[in-house]
Structure 1
Amino acid sequence: MRIHVQTILLCLFFINNLWAQNGLERYTISGYIRETGSQEALIGVNVYLPGTTTGTTTNTYGFYSLTLPAQDSVRLAYSFVGYEMAGQAISLRTNQTVNIFLTPGRSLAEVDVKAGRLTEKVSESAQMSSIEIPVSQIKKIPAFFGEKDVLKVLQLMPGVQKGSEGQTGIYVRGGGPDQNLIILDDAVVYNASHLFGFFSVFNGDAIKSVELIKGGFPARYGGRLSSVIDLNMKDGNREKLHGEGGIGLIASRLVLEGPLTKNKKGSFLISGRRTYLDILAAPLIRAQSGGSLTAGYYFYDLNAKANYDFGPKNKVYLSGYFGRDRFYANDKTADTDTGLSWGNATGTLRWNHLFNQKLFSNLSLIFSDYKFQISSVEKSTQDAETYSLYYNSGIRDFSLKYDLDFYPNPQHSVRMGIQSTYHRFTPSAVVLQNASINQSINNVNNIDVLESGIYAEDTWRPSSRWRVNGGLRLSYFQQKDVAYVRPEPRLSAAYILKPDLSIKASYALMNQYVHLLSNTGIGLPTDLWVPTTDRVKPQQSQQVAIGMAKDFTTGGSFTNGLTLTVEGYYKSMSNIINYKEGASFLLINDPTSANSVRWEDNVTAGRGWSYGAEFLLQKKVGRFSGWAGYTLSWTQWQFAELNGGKPYYPRYDRRHDVSLVGIYDLNKRVTLSAVWVYGTGNALTVPVGRYETYRPSNALVYGGTPGIVQSFFQNVRTADDYGTQKNSFRAEAYHRFDVSIQFHKQKKHHERTWEISVYNLYNRRNPFFYRLESVAATSTTPTRTALFRYSVFPVVPAVSYNFKF
């Protein structure tokens, strides 16, 4: 590692000297940009020379660097959504360190929007297919049961499909749920769902920023085909102790943050959230069972983070997440205990080092662990037998990551780095014990693999009209004697036709070495993570996109801060895997044989393709904000051993998808918001008919008359006929309307907010699943079989109380 780092630094020094040989004396302005009152580092702040296209943005840690020609006086502007703009006059005759503090709140006024750009214009960025949503906006959007959810807000964006009613599953541009790289402070989160997918694991009060990338992926990201969801936790308040939280119908949460030491060089943050569904339901369950049954479900999660500055050039961050879902049932009558639990644990230790004003580095040690467990214990007091069954699966990662940010001049912003991850997969771990016969079986099937990558990318401004981000990632994977080395070129470019209007294009090749096996397609915890092996190849995708971007920076108060993006894309995917017909990795009838059957025997490999167009009109600032999104798309899969080898539409293929989101600050005390969504129904496989089978009885049954057979057949069985075409049935369209109103009040020492929200206001009975059922005969109709639609959530009102101090 040391040799590689020294080589990289030597190359950067050589490149910097070449760029400097242009006959002009140049100096560098660099520093950190933080929030006034908390010293929270701000990501993506726009730093620029007013009236020009020269500028840069802060990185993940709030650092910026801008090299300019020498001059007696230069004035830089600093702007960010949700903050008052700031300016700084500088005499540029030597390198300067300029740290800036931005004051939150005032950019909501239209006068601040007119003063200059609040973020880098979408028309001036080389990056496309990327969406950032201010966390302050997420907190104002109506939510299911009043629980603010980052992933459900992302589902409202074009190109992103939801799984089923209420689910947090993310399906991006035809990709499956395993094709999304979800990162929290550099750590991968493998299962991001609570309550069987109805809530995500991310507590919005602890999140600082969220970015979704659907295509044109920068080279620093790898390992997935469809999207990157990059989340960063808050650093913590360095000035004073601060807290915020909320009490809802099913869960409560609390965040505390403050300085670590009196010198304000460090801070901490800790947050917790827990549902109390088990406490509310326990009395009802005991009453209905006569006291013989105890059952419940709950989830909780914890976020913690600490950071400290060891001088101006070294900073250390330590962050972690731990969450768990648990369902339990104890039946005293049957003397059984049943349990189901799953959860994530992550930890990240990061060291920032500033070599000089142009070169910033970060070293990360990362841990991620996901576990799923089923337990069943059955006791018999009659013969003193005890039978225990434990089924486990999971994935555990240890990663080392080193990144460099290099800012040689305003035309170039270079990033490069290396990452290596040691994976341990446990797709099957069965423990069986039977005390009566002294039987104990412990089958653990661990798979160890190594996944690495090295990358370099450059955001380049070759002229006033061109913006280019080019890069190359080289990925490496090894599992026993199987190894893959694959290059992944990336390119995004924008051509500025005129101020505030540009056309864009991108290409990205991605490889994925881990896979998710799912029977349901809705992201349940029973889905299994498995690696590439000697029999299962890596997934690969190629995606091209073209589009246009428009910033509305002049005009009335309504259009200020408004952006419009229109994109078309085509994506092909190869070596995607799926279960064979009727296959399941969890062998219910004979779980002890799971170790003797390789999971590869139950899967089949195929290909897929997706194409479509996306429209997004977004406004992040002003008294009225929100967005309108529309997606037109087609997605198909093809497997040799499924659907007779013919292409078919996967479950989450949707032809049309519409989302309208509006937020209006009526005044300082009242905020109104509403969401309306519409989507073409899911593609499903449902029975097309039902037939009956009969089995002869073991003995003849005679009636009252000797020798006359009354009944010869018994045990009538029914079976459903699913036809020959997979997912040939299209569910009814999905649509709903959500509203909320927030009442804010600023007290002397704290702020409180009451929120009243209604999910599915007009009580649309959206389909959750379909089933064939028999309809009894009437006086006018015979007995018949009909397809019934079942819904889950009618209109759902919610009330929550939120506070800050």
Structure 2
Amino acid sequence: PVSMLNNNVLMNSDFFTGAFPADYGNAISGVFDLRMRNGNYNQHEFIGQIGFNGFEAGAEGPINKENKSSYLVNYRYSTLGVMSAMGINFGTGAAIPYYQDVTMKLSFPQTPIGNISVFALGGISSIDLLASDETDTLENLYNNRLDIYDRNRMGVIGINHTYLINNKSYTRFTLAASSLISRDKVDSLSAENGNPVDFYKQDFVQNKVTANFFYKLKLNSKNNFQTGVRLEQTIANLSDSIIQNPTDAFASLTEFDGSTYLLQPYISWQHRFNENITLNTGLHWQYLGLNGSQALEPRAGMKYQLSDKDALSFGYGLHSLMPPVSVFFTTTETSPGVWEQLNTEIGFIKAHHFVLGYDRLLNENLRIKAEVYYQSLFDVLVDADSSSFSTVNYGSLLSGFPDRLQNTGTGSNYGVELTFEQFLTHGFYFLFTTSLYHSTYVGSDGVERMTAFAGDYVVNGLVGKEFRLNRNNPDSKPKYIVVDTRLTAAGGQRYTPIDITASLEQQRTVYDWDNAYSAQFDDYFRWDGRIAFKMEGRSTSQEWAVDVQNISNKKNPFNQQLNLETGEVETTYQLGIFPVMQYRITF
């Protein structure tokens, strides 16, 4: 997948992996608070780029230099069709992903009523995975003998207002509207003649209006106070249906046309006992208007500065997550011709999260960090009947939902994370992270199992160096060679074995859910490298680069499917070695 927000429009952002502060809610695993940067308010700049992420063009500059207002706009169009025509295989067979997106921000920091910014983001994407295409060698990429047509559109526009009341307090208000449209059509291929036959169709439209307000006050040198509220109104039209045998008529799976809201007020307080000890506490509350589900979530964190170079930290949080809107309105045929929505009363998924950390600055550019954590999940959605299903595995390749759900499941995650980091110094940096963890869950059958994501370990390494070629000639245009490399090693992805006997009898892939996620692929390994040549002029900067993904050409497994003709289980692999040329010009 390619993110709609790219590095050219982002500034420093916050990433919380657990026990996050009270101002964040409706999440149990982590929060990524992305921020778009402002445009250059001193001069106009333009950028053009071509690479794996697409053809890209951007512009930024001042609207009014006196009040430092600026604009920023970026557009991107996929290049994968061009690469496919060149014979490059990027892991989807004959299917070619198409996408384009645009990002915009207007900033007015010095208006009479405060700092105002307007932002917008929009994108479309599509891909056709066609088993009927004789040139497609990945017939079993997602399922046997299916033509899958996937279309997605997303857009958001909003305004942000920050008002400085005095030198001790300020407010911020954000109002945004977003729309997500997902349309899918699936045809099965006739066993008699191979012609496509209607099988499944989906039309999901989800519109949201979000208002977010907070007030922050510095009471004195030891105490800071913040309170706020977030209101999210969801207006949805959700519909999907599947062919019902033997009538060959579409039967509804999900049907909803209406709205609901999620209310999230919070309050937090920071107290500094002295120069070394800081305490953060808070409360976050969630209320779902659809069925009255609510959750009160205490948060706490403490930092003890042992010296000017090292510190201990502790965090606790109770967190809650609203299930996807579509899950509430899944319909089930409870008796012949009678369809009912059985999940409208399900509640939030919840988790206790504990984190203990140690951070040491070895010198001004070198840091080491260690964290141990424990997460206890409860009220997890599981099958109302006895089964291995649990929403803790949502997001894996096999993510369907049973007809009736209940909040009785549990799960746990615990582990240790180590980080060793060299900040950019004299053109050199590195970042090494290691995570050792254990992840289990319990479904409605009462059996404890490994989760779909229980790989047990992840190791990441990132190293880069910039070399100036003409250092001895300061009057010439600066020229650089930049080398970066990245390595990732992880425990193999877990999967559910295929019941070969049942699959052959039913002529479709049937999984052995009694042994869910008991099997595991070989360990994952990927090594990427990038080398670039940069040349900087007085008003123009250019960069030529070669980015080679999966240098070792390691065949990492993606999934498994049963070949119904041979009775053999076949493995589909992820993308092998993939070199990409890139060119960028900024002026």
User: 2:8 aligns to what SS in structure 1?
Assistant: helix
Deviations 1:707-758 (A, max 9, x none): xxxxxxxxx9697673731111111100121111111101232101111121
Deviations 1:117-168 (A, max 9, x none): xxxxxxxxxxxxxxxxxxxxxxxxxxxxxxxxxxxxxxxxxxxxxxxxxxxx
The structure-2 alpha-carbon separation of the partners of 1:443 and 1:759, relative to structure 1 and needing over 3 Å to count, comes to closer
Partner residue in 1 for 2:152: 342
Partner residue in 2 for 1:195: none
Deviations 1:526-582 (A, max 9, x none): xxxxx99643111111101112111123xxxxxx32221111111111222357879
The structure-2 alpha-carbon separation of the partners of 1:340 and 1:237, relative to structure 1 and needing over 3 Å to count, comes to same
Counterpart amino acid of residue 244 in structure 1: I
The Cα shift of 1:397 comes to 1.4
2:161/2:174 contact within 8 Å kept: yes
Counterpart check, 1:483 vs 2:292: yes
Task: State the alpha-carbon separation in 2 of the partners of residues 693 and 212 from structure 1.
Answer: 46
Counterpart amino acid of residue 181 in structure 2: K
Counterpart check, 1:647 vs 2:437: no
The Cα shift of 1:210 comes to 2.4
The Cα shift of 1:394 comes to 3.8
Task: State the alpha-carbon separation in 2 of the partners of residues 718 and 305 from structure 1.
Answer: 49
2:368/2:419 contact within 8 Å kept: yes
Partner residue in 1 for 2:312: 503
1:451/1:475 contact within 8 Å kept: yes
Partner residue in 2 for 1:42: none
2:376/2:412 contact within 8 Å kept: yes
User: 2:440 aligns to what SS in structure 1?
Assistant: strand
Partner residue in 1 for 2:352: 542
Task: State the alpha-carbon separation in 2 of the partners of residues 345 and 401 from structure 1.
Answer: 18
Q: What is the number of equivalent residue pairs in this alignment?
A: 523
Partner residue in 2 for 1:261: 64
Q: Mapping of 1:606-621 within 5 angstroms? A: 606-621=409-424
Counterpart amino acid of residue 345 in structure 1: G
Counterpart amino acid of residue 37 in structure 2: K
2:464/2:483 contact within 8 Å kept: yes
Deviations 1:185-229 (A, max 9, x none): xxxxxxxxxxxxx32222211111222101231111111111110
Counterpart check, 1:247 vs 2:43: no
Task: State the alpha-carbon separation in 2 of the partners of residues 346 and 302 from structure 1.
Answer: 11
Deviations 1:628-652 (A, max 9, x none): 1111111111111xxx431111211
Partner residue in 1 for 2:270: 459
Partner residue in 2 for 1:179: none
Task: State the alpha-carbon separation in 2 of the partners of residues 431 and 770 from structure 1.
Answer: 24
Counterpart amino acid of residue 408 in structure 1: L
2:217/2:225 contact within 8 Å kept: yes
Task: State the alpha-carbon separation in 1 of the partners of residues 301 and 164 from structure 2.
Answer: 28
The higher relative CO (CA closer than 8 Å, separation ≥ 6) is in 1
Counterpart check, 1:471 vs 2:253: no
Task: State the alpha-carbon separation in 2 of the partners of residues 421 and 720 from structure 1.
Answer: 39
Q: 1:678 aligns with which of 486, 489, 506?
A: 489
Q: Mapping of 1:360-379 within 5 angstroms? A: 360-374=170-184
Deviations 1:638-671 (A, max 9, x none): 111xxx4311112111211111111112236011
Task: State the alpha-carbon separation in 2 of the partners of residues 455 and 532 from structure 1.
Answer: 32
Counterpart check, 1:601 vs 2:383: no
1:508/1:542 contact within 8 Å kept: yes
Partner residue in 1 for 2:473: none
Task: State the alpha-carbon separation in 1 of the partners of residues 178 and 308 from structure 2.
Answer: 45
Partner residue in 1 for 2:14: 211
Task: State the alpha-carbon separation in 2 of the partners of residues 422 and 507 from structure 1.
Answer: 29
User: Unmatched 5+ residue regions in structure 1?
Assistant: 1-197, 285-293, 378-386, 433-438, 519-530, 554-559, 584-598, 695-715, 777-784
2:70/2:106 contact within 8 Å kept: yes
2:41/2:65 contact within 8 Å kept: no
Counterpart amino acid of residue 746 in structure 1: E
Counterpart check, 1:665 vs 2:461: no
Q: Mapping of 1:38-437 within 5 angstroms? A: 198-249=1-52, 251-261=54-64, 263-278=66-81, 281=84, 297-311=97-111, 314-327=114-127, 339-374=149-184, 391-428=202-239
User: 2:22 aligns to what SS in structure 1?
Assistant: coil
The Cα shift of 1:414 comes to 2.5
The structure-2 alpha-carbon separation of the partners of 1:582 and 1:505, relative to structure 1 and needing over 3 Å to count, comes to closer
| Greater gyration radius | 1
The structure-2 alpha-carbon separation of the partners of 1:508 and 1:720, relative to structure 1 and needing over 3 Å to count, comes to closer
Partner residue in 2 for 1:628: 432
Deviates most, 727-736 or 682-691: 682-691
User: 2:259 aligns to what SS in structure 1?
Assistant: strand
1:686/1:771 contact within 8 Å kept: no
User: Unmatched 5+ residue regions in structure 2?
Assistant: 88-93, 134-146, 188-197, 244-249, 328-340, 390-400, 469-478
Structure (1/2) with the larger helix percentage: 1
Counterpart amino acid of residue 305 in structure 1: K
1:692/1:717 contact within 8 Å kept: yes
1:617/1:629 contact within 8 Å kept: yes
Deviates most, 403-412 or 207-216: 403-412
Partner residue in 1 for 2:368: 564
1:201/1:301 contact within 8 Å kept: yes
Partner residue in 1 for 2:331: none
Task: State the alpha-carbon separation in 1 of the partners of residues 533 and 171 from structure 2.
Answer: 44
The structure-2 alpha-carbon separation of the partners of 1:258 and 1:788, relative to structure 1 and needing over 3 Å to count, comes to same
Counterpart amino acid of residue 417 in structure 1: G
The Cα shift of 1:612 comes to 0.8
2:375/2:413 contact within 8 Å kept: yes
Counterpart amino acid of residue 464 in structure 2: I
Counterpart check, 1:756 vs 2:555: no
Structure (1/2) with the larger strand percentage: 2
Output the TM-score relative to the length of structure 2: 0.79
Deviations 1:666-687 (A, max 9, x none): 2360111111111111121123
Partner residue in 1 for 2:190: none
Task: State the alpha-carbon separation in 2 of the partners of residues 222 and 717 from structure 1.
Answer: 45
Deviations 1:71-105 (A, max 9, x none): xxxxxxxxxxxxxxxxxxxxxxxxxxxxxxxxxxx
Counterpart amino acid of residue 277 in structure 1: L
Counterpart check, 1:804 vs 2:580: no
The Cα shift of 1:295 comes to 8.1
